[in-house]
Amino acid sequence: MTDTPAVFASVGSMFAFDRFVRAVDDWAALHPDVLVEIQIGSGEYEPRHARFVRMMPPSLYARRIADARLFIAHAGMGSIIGAIEAGKPLLMMPRRMDQGEHTTDHQFATVAKFRDREGMHVADDAPALHAAIDRLLATGSAPPAPIDPFATPELLDRVRRFIYGSSV
């Protein structure tokens, strides 16, 4: 086993996400031959089967995404952009407001938008997460399509019309 995790999972930097951390750790318990690392943030649950850190410097975080075979995260835009920039498949599990994991259910809108994008995968609960990890590690996944670092002319025109009115 190398020191580089095959699976890197992250809760992001804002809120605890113990349901997610426990689900990834439970998968790691069933696959002791796969090195899993989880960035757990401020959560109470500490993994027993996966390596974990609470937070890490941005440069190390980006390296973990780039080096992992699979990146698993909450459905936050930072995670999505990080996966796209690194060219790594992303498995997302949205936070739920009714579980106290976020202040709104906006991550469901995020996964609805990205669910069908190549290289982006969604699991709504622990059993689906486990099945998706198994499938993605066994069969692989295309990386997400890159994003253009510049706004399209159409978007710029819409912003101009919004700011200056329809006379532009």
CATH number at residue 125: 3.40.50.2000
Which range of residues forms the domain containing residue 126? 7-164
The whole-angstrom separation of Cα 78 and Cα 148 is: 16
In a domain, 2, yes or no: no
Query: Of the candidates 19, 48, 45, which has an alpha carbon nearest to the alpha carbon of residue 36?
Result: 48
In a domain, 96, yes or no: yes
Distances in Å between the alpha carbon of 47 and those of 40, 127, 141, 153? 9, 18, 26, 47
- pLDDT tens column, 31-70: 999 999 999 988 899 999 999 999 999 999 999 999 999 9
pLDDT band for position 1 (cuts 50, 70, 90): very low
In a domain, 53, yes or no: yes
Q: What average pLDDT does the structure give for the chain? A: 86
Work out how many domains the chain is built from and give that number.
1
Cβ(18)–Cβ(41) under 8 Å?
Answer: no
Overall average pLDDT of the 140-168 stretch = 83
The whole-angstrom separation of Cα 107 and Cα 120 is: 14
Residues 6+ positions from 98 with CB-CB distance below 8 Å: 105
Report the percent of the chain where pLDDT is more than 90.
45
**Mean pLDDT lowest for which of 47-56, 75-84, 100-109?**
100-109
Q: Please give the pLDDT value at position 144.
A: 83
| SS3 at position 131 | helix
